[in-house]
Amino acid sequence: MRQVKMSGVVLVAMLAAGLISATGVSAHEFEASKAPGLLLGKAEGLRIFTTPDGTLTCEAAVAHGVINEIRILTKLMTVSYSSCTTSLGTVAEPINAQYIFSADNGAVSIEAPIKIEISAAGVKCHILVPAQNSLKTITYSNLSGKILVATNLEKVESSASGAACPNYTSNKTGKTTGTAIVELVGGQIQWT
């Protein structure tokens, strides 16, 4: 009986110290070697956005964000896409976006609306991707003090207006794929 009580005391102490979670599974988080610090990201290969009216492909994307704590569960990053092409016409650049990445559940949220403008033969197509939460799926891998972020999002909501995108209807069928590497300037970052 004494050993059972002692085991209970040790378990309560471990829970209180945060060594184990109440559910038995610890949450994932981003862990930096220093804070505050500047996070920089760069696309590895193409970023492909599939919409009801076609595909938008961007050859380049750069990201930045600030980390203020050593361990965090979510991170806001600002991303600028460039060298983008589509069969609809010429893409106005850069395309700017703000995302909140979750370390724990593989989700990302679009923090502010993303506006994409395409011009073709004097007419325009305005695509709007509104703010939306918990899009899936983001996966993370550690790479020598950096994080590889692989994006495979589905059910992305968007709408469009303008004569250059006549077949576009508002819906939640958008998709985006691509990978990027995120690093901490003057330090290391990892997904734990």
CA angle centred on 130, ends 126 and 167, rounded to 5°? 40
Residue 78, pLDDT score: 98
Residue 101, pLDDT score: 97
pTM for this entry: 0.83
CA-to-CA separations, 34 to 18, 69, 71, 183, in angstroms, rounded: 21, 8, 10, 12
Residue 52, pLDDT score: 76
Peptide linkage before 52 cis (omega within 30 of 0)? no
Task: For residue range 3-20, list pLDDT tens digits in order.
Answer: 434 334 433 443 344 443
Contact present, 75 and 65 (Cβ < 8 Å): yes
First-last CA distance in the chain: 37
Task: For residue range 64-104, list pLDDT tens digits in order.
Answer: 999 999 999 999 999 999 999 998 889 999 999 999 999 99
Residue 10, pLDDT score: 39
